[in-house]
Structure 1
Amino acid sequence: MPTPYRRHAYRDAPYLLNSLPGALHHRPLAFAHRGADPRRENTMGAFRHAVDLGYRYLEIDVRTAADGTLVVFHDEELDRATSGSGLLSEKTWEQLAELRVGTGDGFTEPLVRFEELLSTWGDVHLNVDLKDAAAVTEFARLVEKHQAHDRVLAASFNDARRRSVRRRLTRPVAASGGWAATALIVLLGPLGLMGRLGGRVADIDCVQVPVSQGRIRVVTPRFVQRCHRAGLQVHVWVVDDPAEMHELLDMGVDGLMTDDAEALAEVMRERSVWPQR
């Protein structure tokens, strides 16, 4: 039997469909991390496969090319995951378009411009990790151009980038806490000092965290409860083991990010919250 979902005082955020009335209200969200296919991460092939499986949330990374193009890519350097080498920031989109992404089995997929992905599906939500400071202005411009405010979440380890995005938009977008805000929640929460975080919590909608950071266990029942009392959702990355997925969902987390699209889809199906698209 699926575990009953507890109802928390979520903040209403159009991006977070589980915060609003509808089929996913108070249900956990499933995120395809970089498309959830490590062989061809952050490519249209990976994204299409995840969407076809039923995913409505794609976690992606964006970086800025030399000509200002916003490219869906994780690493600062091209060497690990493409047929090219060197810094992505030193290449124009024309140069990057000639490269192919792949690991192990060869290089098969082209790189993707953020605008292309943003335009492909009208009902797919993008969890966007802004990997460099230059990405802020172009990200905001494209969100405004496509009026995609309700379909994107601005994420960054750097809290200043997230705040900078919001200052450039005519309507707010969802946001997750960066390392500074999240660390304060982890460290001050057990001391009963969540109330002192003030604006650091007020301008975010969720925390997106690993199960553990080094020797520190981050996601615990009390951590989840503290975040919920503050109106924050808890999304956990990157979880590929079905048993751990069930454990975290039983704990009450609000979303899981995975590199194994099929495994998380099956777990969500067992809990009667699939497909999500």
Structure 2
Amino acid sequence: MSRALPAERLPYFADGAPIGLAHRGGSTYEPNVGRENTVAAFREAVEMGYRYLETDVHATADGRLVAFHDDVLDRVTDRRGTIADLPWSEVSAARINGTDAVPLMDELFETFPQARFNIDIKAPAALAPLTEAIRRHDALDRVCIGSFSDSRLRAARKALGPRLATSAGPTDVATMRLLPSVVSRLLRSPAQALQIPVTHRIGPLTPTVVTRRLVETAHRLGKHVHVWTIDEAPEMHRLLDLGVDGIVSDRIDTLRDVLAERGHPLRP
């Protein structure tokens, strides 16, 4: 298994820790309710001072790369259908919350040139358009790619090279949850970040994933630990006390306030 460049050597992580990541723009922050993954939601986060924006990508039937979480339009738009089966002309006509267009990833790169994007590749067809968009916008230094597919992560690393920041894939994360004794070996994977939940349910058990030992081991190996999706201030404080490097949140107002209390204010 190849050694990764440490997070500190990649421009994506240059702001230092802790960082706040606006999950889909901050989808339960009041102005953004019902407007997840929209330009308007991301603008709210950026104007609040967020530099790290979390989003997801799918590809339309004709290969356009959209920032959208679900594989279907049904839940959050006024249209129905599977994105992979629809041309961009139909997806672009859908409206999130009745008002906002589904954005192309190109639009997000162009609209927020100073932002860094944490991008979850949701479907195999999105991989090639994403790598092309990153090259087209010279955005390699401001993206971190994650996926619930190990093969997509391997392909992204091969296509974009060692300067690409990535998070750990599902195999590493699952083994880490189930076999904590091999955490140190697994953390030598090519990922610069572990982006993980606090706990993970396994049958009747809900073991804790994020521990001080895990964070300390990750740091020794030059990796960040980002925890999702945390919306309550006491839990944010507890995790930051453990030394985590980033928190992914829908309540971007709460996270902003917690970071400010701890001496890490966002800077609009």
Worse-superposed segment, 200-209 or 141-150: 200-209
Q: How far apart are 1:184 and its partner, in Å?
A: 2.3
Partner of residue 116 from structure 2, selected from 96, 111, 125: 125
**Matching residue of 1:167:** 158
Task: Note the 1:60-79 alignment, pairs <5 A.
Answer: 60-79=55-74
Q: Report the identity percentage.
A: 39
Partner of residue 11 from structure 2, selected from 9, 14, 38: 14
Partner of residue 253 from structure 2, selected from 262, 273, 276: 262
Per-residue CA deviations over 1:157-197 (Å, capped at 9, x if unaligned) read 11111110122226631000111111223334x32x34543
Distance in 2 of aligned mates of 1:236 and 1:194: 17
**Matching residue of 1:31:** 21
> Partner of 1:153: helix, strand, or coil?
strand
Distance in 2 of aligned mates of 1:158 and 1:127: 15
1:201 matches 2:188: yes
Q: Contact between 1:245 and 1:264, CA under 8 Å: does it hold in 2?
A: yes
Per-residue CA deviations over 1:143-170 (Å, capped at 9, x if unaligned) read 1111111011111011111110122226
Q: Contact between 2:10 and 2:163, CA under 8 Å: does it hold in 1?
A: no
1:47 matches 2:42: yes
Superposition TM-score, scaled by structure 2 size? 0.90
Q: Which letter does structure 1 place at the counterpart of 2:51?
A: R
Q: Which letter does structure 1 place at the counterpart of 2:21?
A: F
Distance in 1 of aligned mates of 2:173 and 2:13: 19
> Partner of 1:126: helix, strand, or coil?
strand
**Matching residue of 2:219:** 228
Task: Tell me how large the CA RMSD over aligned residues is.
Answer: 1.7
> Partner of 1:15: helix, strand, or coil?
helix
Q: Contact between 2:12 and 2:143, CA under 8 Å: does it hold in 1?
A: yes
Distance in 2 of aligned mates of 1:217 and 1:240: 18
**Matching residue of 1:4:** none
Distance in 1 of aligned mates of 2:37 and 2:56: 8
Query: In the superposition, relative to structure 1, how do residues 72 and 53 fare at CA in structure 2: closer, same or farther (>3 Å)?
Result: same
Superposition TM-score, scaled by structure 1 size? 0.87
Distance in 2 of aligned mates of 1:207 and 1:64: 25
**Matching residue of 1:20:** none
Q: Structure 2 unaligned segments of length 5 or more: list them.
A: 1-5, 28-32
Query: In the superposition, relative to structure 1, how do residues 248 and 196 fare at CA in structure 2: closer, same or farther (>3 Å)?
Result: closer
Q: How far apart are 1:220 and its partner, in Å?
A: 1.5
Q: Contact between 2:12 and 2:142, CA under 8 Å: does it hold in 1?
A: yes
Q: Contact between 1:149 and 1:171, CA under 8 Å: does it hold in 2?
A: no
